[in-house]
Amino acid sequence: MKLIVRLGNPGPAYAGNRHNIGFMCLKHLAGKLGIPLDRAQGRARTSEGKVDGMRVLLARPQTGMNLSGESVSRLVNKFHINREDLFVIHDDLDLPLGTIRIRRGGRSAGHRGMESIIASLGSTDFIRVRVGIGRPELENTVQDKEEAVIDYVLSDFTSEEEKIINQTIPVVSEAIVCLLREGLSAAMNRFN
């Protein structure tokens, strides 16, 4: 079984936030695969389906971004998911808006949701689908930088940014289907 997780914050107040690009992508993928996110388990909204006969579990943690690892580790343990069968979709400040990067492993780069997952699993050996949201222009002081980044990721995309993101989301779905059908190397070669 493959476990595909999106990172983000639950609730309508966060739905359009940059930090919730993972949810937007998973919602599109669920629609494309005809798999509704309708069950509650492991502190997540989940649904199970098949892609070319392969079992796939889609999960939307309900713990909030910074505690994502609680939900992910519960699901990994409950369904005996191998690390290489875990795909995590999340936002990335260090990638230009709309850019996709797929890789196995890697550090959190300060992303608190990823920090939580890495700490909970005790491993970085899973597949990450990073979606670029760009970085805000920052002030000079460290305090201003941290606050500016938090405000930025918790704000909605502008109408101009939405145009780019609306083109990116279906490509992320294609990349995940490619990961499922053809594997990591093929997806990295085609979508990175």
Structural domain spans, the chain: 2-191
pLDDT value at residue 59:
96
User: Does residue 47 contact residue 56 with C-beta atoms inside 8 Å?
Assistant: no
Average confidence (pLDDT) over 121-149: 84
Residue 26 has pLDDT above 80, yes or no: yes
Q: What is the pLDDT confidence band of residue 149, given thresholds at 50, 70 and 90?
A: confident
Determine the Cα–Cα distance for residues 72 and 35; give it in Å rounded to an integer: 19
Domain 2-191 has CATH 3.40.50.1470: yes
Average confidence (pLDDT) over 13-22: 94
96-117: burial string, b at 16+ Cβ within 10 Å, e else:
ebbbbbbeeeeebeebbbbbbb
DSSP three-state, residue 177 = helix
Query: What is the chain's mean pLDDT, rounded?
Result: 93
Of the given ranges (14-28, 34-48, 135-149, 169-183), which has the lowest mean pLDDT? 135-149
Active site residues: 19
Average confidence (pLDDT) over 125-146: 82
